[in-house]
Amino acid sequence: GEEVAQTPKHLVRGEGQKAKLYCAPIKGHSYVFWYQQVLKNEFKFLISFQNENVFDETGMPKERFSAKCLPNSPCSLEIQATKLEDSAVYFCASSQFRGRGQPQHFGDGTRLSIL
Amino acid sequence: AQTVTQSQPEMSVQEAETVTLSCTYDTSENNYYLFWYKQPPSRQMILVIRQEAYKQQNATENRFSVNFQKAAKSFSLKISDSQLGDTAMYFCAFMISGAGSYQLTFGKGTKLSVIP
């Protein structure tokens, strides 16, 4: 598609439950990035992929967060045993090439609310 | 590590007037890219403008222009003829060129309100 598609738009989970977010990058884009925007508007980089390979996972909390980009499937970000502090908007972005200042095109985000 | 600072949490401007949003950054890299993204209340992240650090010429996109001062590590955004639709959060962002993960490092944003 011509846009980054993120689903669902809003996800509500009780503390301790699992949450799974999905992202379909723009067709032809090889790079996918996940960012977390917390309530104070701060963005935190989580992980990036080149096709189905993890490119950089330095921002991922190791214990509870995992992500995948499998061929012919939307990318996913999964949070096990959610905590109140995981409440945030999670953005997926994609770009066609790596580097060269390629703009990243963002989806509309998934708002995750942990109760 | 790179840091991006937006020192103005909130600003307002009268419709049709000009406003400048400031952004400074800190890096030891020589080759990088800078971006301004707009986030309206709808939450979308919209690319406004992009600047290549090796280019002296300031980028412009219609009513949006930047003042890029590499030595001062400053990258301000000027919005001319402000419109009500410009009301949004504006984020300055930095990306390293060359080897790297190409993640964006964002400032904390400036909330711009355009007043009729």
- Per-residue pLDDT in tens (0 to 9) along chain A, 115 residues: 689 999 999 999 999 999 999 999 999 999 999 999 997 789 999 999 999 999 899 999 989 999 999 988 999 999 999 999 999 999 999 998 776 778 899 999 999 999 9
B49 touches chain A (CB under 8 A): no
Nearest residue on chain B to A100, judged by CA atoms?
B97
Give 3-state DSSP helix, strand, coil % of chain B, rounded to 5: 5, 50, 45
A53 touches chain B (CB under 8 A): no
CB B102 within 8 A of CB B114: no
Share of chain B above pLDDT 70, in %: 97
A72 touches chain B (CB under 8 A): no
Q: Quick check: B103 and A33 CB within 8 A?
A: yes
Distance, in Å, from the CA atom of B4 to the CA atom of A16, rounded to the nearest integer, reads 34
CB B39 within 8 A of CB B109: yes
B47 touches chain A (CB under 8 A): yes
Q: Quick check: A103 and B52 CB within 8 A?
A: no
Q: Quick check: A103 and B47 CB within 8 A?
A: yes
In 10 A of CB B54, how many CB atoms?
Answer: 12
Q: pLDDT band for position B21 (50/70/90)?
A: very high
Distance, in Å, from the CA atom of A67 to the CA atom of A107, rounded to the nearest integer, reads 17
Q: What is the 3-state secondary structure (H, E, C) of chain A?
A: CCCCEEECCEEEECCCCCEEEEEECCCCCCEEEEEEECCCCCEEEEEEEECCEEEECCCCCCCCEEEECCCCCCEEEEECCCCHHHCEEEEEEEECCCCCCCCCEECCCEEEEEC
Nearest residue on chain B to A40, judged by CA atoms?
B108
Q: Quick check: A56 and B101 CB within 8 A?
A: yes
B109 touches chain A (CB under 8 A): yes
Residue type (1 letter), A74: P
B50 touches chain A (CB under 8 A): yes
What number of residues does chain A have?
Answer: 115
Tokens of B39: 């986030």
CB B87 within 8 A of CB B13: no
B2 touches chain A (CB under 8 A): no
What's the DSSP call for residue B9?
A: S
Distance, in Å, from the CA atom of B98 to the CA atom of A46, rounded to the nearest integer, reads 20
Distance, in Å, from the CA atom of B78 to the CA atom of A95, rounded to the nearest integer, reads 26
Of B50, B89, B100, Cβ closest to residue A103: B50
What's the DSSP call for residue A59?
A: T
Give tens-digit pLDDT for B63-94: 999 999 999 999 999 999 999 999 999 999 99
